[in-house]
Structure formats: C-alpha cells, structure tokens
Structure 1
Amino acid sequence: MSLSRHLDTDTIFAQAVDHPHKKHVHNSRSNKQQREIHDGAYSSRFATEQLPKFSIPSVGVTAHAAYQLVHDELDLDGTPSLNLASFVHTWMPEEGKRLIMENISKNFADQDEYPATMSIHTRCVSMLSSLWKVPEGGKAIGTATGGSSEAIMLGGLALKKRWQAARKAAGKSIHEPGPNIVFGANAQVALEKFARYFDVECRLVPVDESTNHVMSPERAMQYIDENTIGVMVILGSTYTGAFEDVEGMARLLDEYETKTGHNVPIHVDAASGGFVAPFAYPKYKWAFDIPRVVSINTSGHKFGLVYAGLGWIIWRSEEMLPKELIFELHYLGSVEYSYTLNFSRSAAPIIGQFFNFLNLGFDGYRRIAQDDLRNARLLSRALERSGYYVCLSNIHRPLGTTKGITETLTDALKGFDEEDAEYYERGLPVVSFRFSDNFRAEYPQIKQVWIQNLLRAKQWIVPNYALPPNEDTVEILRIVVRESMSADLVEKVVVDILAITESLMSKCTFLHDSALLTGTFPDGSSESAMMAAVTGPAVSKDKSNTHSQLDDSHPDQQTTTTYAKTC
C-alpha cells in the first residue's frame, strides 16, 4: 500500500498564489475560498454548503451528490483495459462479480461467524496444493493473504525462524554475523522489503544478458553460506517474464548440502507464474515435486483472474511452518489459528477465487494461459518485424533457440505445434522490448521514454524503465498481456506504437534537414526541439494507412513503411 503525506493546504497555496499561470484562472469566489473547496461540474445542483478538500466537512452532502463528485474525479484515472503495465486482473464474469458483491461485507478473520467461507478457503488451499504437486500423503498447509507481498513476508519469516532454530540447536549464534537471503537483482520490491523489514541481509545476485536477465543458479551459489536462510527463486520476472531455474537451483543446493552439511531451502515467488506454469507448461518441473522447495506464493489477483487483492502461500508440510508463528485466537467466539500480518479482510476475493476454480477448471485456465501467450507472441513478432524494436522477452522464440538446440530439444521439436506454448521458451505473457541497435544508431536523438509518453496521450499505459542494477543503462518498454487483451487490441497497440515511432522519425528528419539549411539546430537544444516538434502538425505525408492488418500466419509480411532519414 502506498504511503501518503498530509497536505498543509494553507502553506501550499500561499506559496502558489503568485504562480505565473494562476492569473489565467478566474473565479467569482475569493482565491482563498476557491482553493479550499470542491467545485464540481454539478455542484450548484447539489450543494447546501461548500465542501473542504483536505478536511472532513462539518456537514455532509447527500449520497447522490457525494457519489457524483467522487465519480467525476475518478474519471481522471486510466482505463483498466488499456493499462498494459499491470499484472493485476481487471475483469470477471457477471456471476463472479455478483458473488463478490454479495459477500463483500464478510470479514475473513471471523471464522466462527462464517464457517462456509472458511470451508471454501480450505478447499482453495487444497486445490492449490494439488496443482503445485504436493507429494501424495503430504500435509500441506497454507493461507490466503492480501497479495503476494504479504505472502512473501510470511514465507521469509518461516525461513528465518527455521534457520534460527537450527542454529540454536547446533549451539551457534543467530546474531553474528546474522541471517542472509539470496535472490536475483531482478526481484520485485516485496522481496527486498522482507529483508529490510525483518533484519535479514539481502544478497542480490547480479543479472545480465548472459543469464537471460534473471538469476543464474551457478552465480547464486557464490552468495550462499551457512547463514543463508533460503534462496527465493522467481517464477516469472517482472522485467521480462522469464522463469528462473528452480530445478537447477535445487540440484546445486543438494550438492552444496552433501559437501557442507548446510541445508538451504527454496521459496518460489510464483506471484504470476503460479497460475501460468501449471497450465501452459504442465510438464515443467518447478513446484513441490522438487523436495527442496518448502513454500510457494502466488497472487490470485494476477493470473488467478480475481480482482485485487488476494494472494496465497502454501508450505509443503506443517513442519515447514514453525509453530511459534501460528497464533491461537479465542476472542471471536471459538478457537481460531492464524498466521497473517493483518487481521480483518474481506472474504470476497477468496470466494471469487473459488468461483474461478469451479467455473474454469484446469482446461479453462489452460485455454486462457495459451491465449495470453499466443497474443504475446503475436505482439513480439510484430514489434520485431518492424525493424524498430527488439524483444528481450523470449516467449515467442522456439524452445532451446536462445541456448542452442540440443539433441533432446531436437526430438521434442519434431512435433512442433506453433499454437502450443510448450514448444516455446517458457515465461509469462509479457513482452519487454527496446529500440533496436540499428534504430538507435540512425536516430540517436529519439528517447525511448517518448514512446511511453505519447502512448499515454492515446490512453495506453506502457511503462519505460531501466533494467536491474548491473544493466541499468538499458531501458525497456513492457506490455503485460492479460486475458482482457484480445488480438484486436494487440493490433491496435502495435499500430499506435509504430505510428508514433514513425512520427518521431519523420520529425527527426524534418529537424535535421532544417538544421542543414539554417544552421540553427545546436546540439544542446536537440531534445527540447524534438519534443516540441513531436507535438506539432505532421511534416510528412500521411502514413495512417501504412500499417496493414497483422497476420501471424505470414511471417515475412512487412507491417510498416518508413520514409525517415538519419537524424
């Protein structure tokens, strides 16, 4: 959850009163009076008194007036279906929405009051345990959380407590030098939060192009010692969507334990991959069928296809969750057992998850995962065929092509099915891309972040940001292909990306030619001049029809025509 600071409005507006643009704003009210109240489009129809912006009003307004005011203000938010930056799911069937609204007032913490809800929670834990291949006869244990961030905290705490118990049993100190945890520099911020909040040394394993921008098991071993409470392996990097090698990491840790006697467990951060890998890659080994994996977390509100916020964490057996972390509660009418960082939360997302399990089944989840990955491959190919972009994500490349074809892979590819995700490099339906080297050489003045900004003007939300430390000089644009992103939307976003790119190219050409004619284009002003030109009228022939409809069945089809020259 984001932190917000209190706003001292008197100070803020006293400083802003002489702002050069304030003189253009005219209002019949005094400046002080106007700045402290809400002035909605329909305020004159509803208002009985003015509403302050930053303090609770002494007297409220009608529910209808309050709704209209808030509703209008929220119109400034982005459109969820066009938010291609987020992994969070934004759509459910009407029946799922109805169940959520019918149960939104139920407090999941009150187990005695809502026994049917608790039964549904237990069944969800069992379904996930089975999906993640808990050994037959195993006594897995788990809980719903507010999201993967909370789940990671719980998983990390269990690792820390088990390490402390082992150290104490061996008569060793738990303070000198203290615990450490190992994960890749590509980790989501929740993993670093765990280390910082709970006094565990964070050992980040550098990533780069040679490791496919994710943690290499071999490289990770250089950071492991007897004080390592565990390794967190990420099933689906937020940067490129690539899966880290859980099985390879486990094999090296097995060898390490044989040599040293130090048992280092694995927690799998499957925030997104936990609902992708089992369905898209059912033969892939990453879960509890690997003995060294002691716990797994996932987000129900990502590819579990539920509205925010719902996470899950499962431990392979009760022994992996120290009893000292479990609280026995008596003050809600019966004996209840709890292991969470918060207490009260709505039961509605859990019920939504159960609805999805029943409604979709394994085949439904598999179909959605395959569709998402198919659309992500379409997007990747279209971007790369333009020649302007290159993808860092690999889910559109046939399996093994990024590391060289082996004899085993050759056999596997004999029955290649271009519609089946299992024949491609494994990962999330995420497309990470950047300007190609040729494009950057021809148009060095064009900044990649401009693509993000100009897409935002068309309502698309596509982030542009740097890769992790060690390769943070490289920026990527990233699109998450969710269920709500159809092939039609893929086509539209590709057309907009390429149209924006070619517009920048043509502006660059125009400015370059103008500079040659007038000699008035100094290097120091090139960026500001470019941005000013981009917002101006077109300077080249209309190319709105140069992007033909995407057709994934014709790999050699050219989707763009360019008229640009070197900047």
Structure 2
Amino acid sequence: MPLWKTCASESPDIYATARAVEGLAKARIPETGVSPEEAYNLVRDELYLDGNARQNLATFCTTWVEDEVHKLMADCIDKNMIDKDEYPQTAEIEARCVHIIASLWNSPEAEETIGCSTTGSSEAAMLGGLALKWAWRDRRKKEGKPHDKPNMVCGPVQVCWHKFAKYFDVELRQIPLSEGSLHMRPEQLKDYVDENTICVVPTLGVTFTGVYEPVKEICQELDRLQTETGLDIPVHVDAASGGFVAPFLHPELLWDFRLDRVKSINASGHKFGLAPLGVGWVIWRDKKELPSDLVFNVDYLGGNMPTFALNFSRPGGQIVIQYYNFMRLGWDGYRDIQSACAENAQYLAEKLAELPELDILYDGNGALPCVCYRLKHPDKAHYTLYDLSERVRMNGWQIASYPLPSDMEDTVVQRVMIRHGVSHDAVEQLYWDIKKALNYLDKNNIKWSEAGPSFSHG
C-alpha cells in the first residue's frame, strides 16, 4: 500500500492529503470532492507556474487594481448583466458608462447616443463592423445595386478584424507598411477603396508598435475622394487602447466624434480604461448609425429588453468597476496615471536608445505609453530579438517579439507596454536586465536558438 494511503483523509495538513500526494484530476472529474481550503490551495499552487502578470510587458491589459476593486468584484459575482430586469442598477451603471465614454469621445449626442459594454474591444470592434456592413447593404439595396462583395480598408490591425472579415464574409484590404512609416498613410486610400467599401478602420494605438494612425487626415482624404468620386465612406476608429489615453494625454488631437465621418468607436475598458479583464465598449455617433435589424428584444428574463451584443450572459463586475474608476479617479486621476505611464515609457526609450544594438522605432511620445525597437544591425548579429526575449524572461520579464505585417515581414521588433502599476524602478531594472542580456548574447555565439515570435494582442 502506498505510504500516502495510510494518511488520514482529513489530515490537518493540506500537503499530506490524498489529493496533494496523488495529484489533481487531469482528464475527468474526481468521484469525491475535498474541502474548500484544500481545493483553493492546490489550485492556487497550479497558478504559480504562470508568469508574473506584473512583469508581463507584452500585454496591454490591466494587471494591478486596488483592494476595493477586489471587494466590488466579489459583490458582483452573482450579477448577470444581461438580465436588466433582475439587476436594474447594474444596467443603469452600464448606461452611465456609455454616456460618460460618449462624452469623453466628444459625441454630439452624448446623453442620448447608443452603445454597450462587451467582453472586450474585439467584440466591440465586430459590433461596429457589423453595423457598418448592414448600413452599407441597406443603402445598396435601396439603390438597386449588388451587395454581395463588401470590403473594409485598414492598416496593420489587430487579429480581431481578420476574424471579423472571415466570420462575416467581408474582404479585408490591409494597406501594407513601408520603411519609414509604421501605419497606413492617407494618400494610399485611393488605391483601396471603392463602392463596396463598408468602412475605413484607422487604429488609435497600433497593436504592433503603439503609434496612432492619423484619423483626421484619413477623414480629410475620404472627404476629398467623395468630392472627386462621389464615394461616401464612413470611418470606424479602433481605439482599443488609445480611446482611454488620447482624451487625457492628447486632448487637442482630432480622432473622435468631432470628425463627422467617424460613425463608431470601440475601446477596451480592461486596457488603459483600468478595469479588470474583460470589458470593452462600442459607442455609435448617434442612434441612427446602429441598424435596427441588429437589435434583438428578449422577453424571457422578466421583462422585454433590447440587446445587441454578441455574447449573452456576462458578469457585471467589470462594468461596475469601470464606473468605480470613473468616480474614483475622475479626469485628473486618469490624466495623472496615463502621464506617469508615458513618462516611464519615454524614460525607458531614452535609456534603450543608448544601447548600440537597438534602433528605437517608437519612443512613447505622442501615442500609447510603450516602446518599440528593433536590432540596429540584424544581419550582422548572431542572435535575434527572440533570443533577447528568452534571455530577459530568465528574470521574469515577458516582452513581445514578432515580425511586422506586410510589406515589412523581414523586420522583427520588440514592444514593451508600460501600464498602470509599472513603476520607474521597474523600468530601470528592466533596462539593466536588457543591457545584461544583450551583453551576454554579444559575447556568446548563440547562433539563433529555437525561440520564435511571442506576441500579445491583448
């Protein structure tokens, strides 16, 4: 008989129980359960094998929250936000967030416009795209024209737009990059848009590099094309990260509903909105921009309620925390946090620029609080940025390394995100760890390890 079998099933020590010695179930549910304390500790031990989220500088997502956030999340664990009849105050809080965000993005009808929460900016982007596809299709039907070949035009976009195009049968026309430009340029649009274009999607905070695409100039170019060709093409702004940065750090920048051509905007609450995973937001310029065909009325939850999200049952906690953040921090608090992140990103860029091996592509000025760089002489180096990622991970840091989209697939970059909770001292330590890792790689003939792209869209 194995020694552990002699242990009492109610051992006073968690690590002397049968489940701790034998191991947790891996493929099927166990026949008997254990105490809450035992289950908690053994499952928590599994999580120790994950990376340290605070050192994950590949992700855009919130990794630090106040104790009060934990308490409010616990208070909301039983709230299904879709059930607005049963939880009317949670529904009211969601509506307040919609109007606050609409105001933040300068909606002309902020107190009346329509929008909703989602599980993240990817779902929000898809809702924005669907509304524009439906509106385009309806126009084409009224004009008696074909409506079976919709397309959308964009620069280097997050993978959710590739999913949108595939899932909803829309041709994605992605404008390629070129050396010296990290985003689509307005003058390129004329070669990609036509009468079947449902929208142009500029990104306020390109996932690959952190830069803003020039939304105002894109709208101006579309104005010019309309004058020349008659094509009236709307804009949806993917502000997954920049939507909660630009209003506080770059208020003079025209990218939002101040531009008439912008019909809808999506953003992640759980990125620079500072809410916990996962909540996103989509806001339409005004109610007429959301086709009624996309709104469903549900009458089996205790009342007749409209819904237009892709997901149905969802927890209400993240929405409540988004509202908590608005009340807790206010405009000044958000500005101070985003400013601190930007200052730390710019400091890191200044330090990394001193290293002869690296070429800074984006230094944290003017867009998202992050740094993007490449090897200055990749053809002469006997290592890659993938090797550098592996090396600094020995100190716990997770840094995204990946090739840029077409036509710059041969350019491999690293991107370091500086979020709320990443202090100046942490940035300083990261710099020294990168410097030490480069020194090690320079002195040792690595000859390209098996390390490959490590890329976080979220």
1-side partners of 2:257 and 2:183: how far apart? 21
- Is the Cα–Cα contact under 8 Å of residues 151 and 312 in structure 1 kept in the other structure? yes
Per the alignment, residue 255 of structure 2 pairs with 286
Aligned with 2:368 (options 414, 428, 442): 428
The answer to whether structure 1 residue 527 and structure 2 residue 415 are counterparts is no
Per the alignment, residue 224 of structure 1 pairs with 193
Aligned with 1:503 (options 437, 440, 449): 440
Q: 1:133 to 1:50 in 2, by over 3 A?
A: closer
Aligned with 2:393 (options 447, 453, 456): 456
- Amino acid of the structure 1 residue aligned with 2:52: T
The answer to whether structure 1 residue 104 and structure 2 residue 77 are counterparts is yes
Matches for 1:145-544 after TM superposition, within 5 Å: 145-175=118-148, 178-184=149-155, 186-211=156-181, 213-396=182-365, 426-437=366-377, 440=378, 444-508=381-445, 527=447
- Is the Cα–Cα contact under 8 Å of residues 139 and 316 in structure 1 kept in the other structure? no
Per the alignment, residue 453 of structure 2 pairs with none
Aligned with 1:45 (options 2, 9, 17): 17
Alpha-carbon deviations, 1:458-506, whole Å to 9, x = none? 1110121111121011111110000111110010000000011112222
Q: Secondary structure at the match of 1:314?
A: strand
- Is the Cα–Cα contact under 8 Å of residues 266 and 283 in structure 2 kept in the other structure? yes
1-side partners of 2:261 and 2:222: how far apart? 8
After TM superposition, give the deviation of residue 266 of structure 1 in Å.
Answer: 0.2
- Is the Cα–Cα contact under 8 Å of residues 99 and 111 in structure 2 kept in the other structure? no
After TM superposition, give the deviation of residue 42 of structure 1 in Å.
Answer: 5.6
1-side partners of 2:53 and 2:109: how far apart? 41
- Amino acid of the structure 2 residue aligned with 1:52: A
1-side partners of 2:33 and 2:395: how far apart? 37
TM-score, with length taken from structure 1: 0.75
1-side partners of 2:212 and 2:407: how far apart? 19
Identity, % of aligned positions:
42
2-side partners of 1:54 and 1:180: how far apart? 44
After TM superposition, give the deviation of residue 448 of structure 1 in Å.
Answer: 2.1
- Is the Cα–Cα contact under 8 Å of residues 296 and 315 in structure 1 kept in the other structure? yes
The answer to whether structure 1 residue 133 and structure 2 residue 115 are counterparts is no
- Amino acid of the structure 2 residue aligned with 1:113: E
After TM superposition, give the deviation of residue 286 of structure 1 in Å.
Answer: 0.3
Q: Secondary structure at the match of 2:17?
A: helix
- Amino acid of the structure 2 residue aligned with 1:433: Y
Per the alignment, residue 553 of structure 1 pairs with none
Per the alignment, residue 404 of structure 1 pairs with none
Alpha-carbon deviations, 1:160-199, whole Å to 9, x = none? 0000000000011212xx1001111x21000111000000
1-side partners of 2:335 and 2:245: how far apart? 8
Aligned with 1:119 (options 76, 89, 92): 92
Q: 1:479 to 1:50 in 2, by over 3 A?
A: closer
After TM superposition, give the deviation of residue 46 of structure 1 in Å.
Answer: 4.4
After TM superposition, give the deviation of residue 387 of structure 1 in Å.
Answer: 1.9
2-side partners of 1:42 and 1:54: how far apart? 22
Q: Secondary structure at the match of 2:362?
A: coil
Q: Which has the higher contact order (CA 8 A, sep 6+)?
A: 2
After TM superposition, give the deviation of residue 365 of structure 1 in Å.
Answer: 0.6
1-side partners of 2:219 and 2:444: how far apart? 53
Q: Cα RMSD over matched residues?
A: 1.9
- Amino acid of the structure 1 residue aligned with 2:346: R
Q: 1:138 to 1:96 in 2, by over 3 A?
A: closer
Q: Secondary structure at the match of 2:413?
A: strand
- Is the Cα–Cα contact under 8 Å of residues 345 and 370 in structure 2 kept in the other structure? yes
2-side partners of 1:82 and 1:138: how far apart? 39
Per the alignment, residue 417 of structure 1 pairs with none
- Is the Cα–Cα contact under 8 Å of residues 121 and 350 in structure 1 kept in the other structure? yes
- Is the Cα–Cα contact under 8 Å of residues 215 and 244 in structure 1 kept in the other structure? yes
Q: Secondary structure at the match of 2:267?
A: strand
Per the alignment, residue 563 of structure 1 pairs with none
Structure 1: runs of 5+ lacking an equivalent: 1-27, 30-40, 397-425, 509-525, 532-567
After TM superposition, give the deviation of residue 105 of structure 1 in Å.
Answer: 1.4
Which segment is superposed worse, 156-165 or 59-68? 59-68
Equivalent pairs counted in the alignment come to 439
Structure 2: runs of 5+ lacking an equivalent: 4-12, 451-458
After TM superposition, give the deviation of residue 82 of structure 1 in Å.
Answer: 0.4
Per the alignment, residue 423 of structure 1 pairs with none
- Amino acid of the structure 1 residue aligned with 2:41: Q
1-side partners of 2:14 and 2:110: how far apart? 63
| Larger-Rg structure | 1
1-side partners of 2:324 and 2:358: how far apart? 40
1-side partners of 2:110 and 2:57: how far apart? 42
1-side partners of 2:160 and 2:271: how far apart? 15
After TM superposition, give the deviation of residue 137 of structure 1 in Å.
Answer: 7.5
2-side partners of 1:60 and 1:330: how far apart? 38
Q: Secondary structure at the match of 1:105?
A: coil
- Amino acid of the structure 2 residue aligned with 1:45: T
1-side partners of 2:295 and 2:434: how far apart? 51
1-side partners of 2:169 and 2:287: how far apart? 25
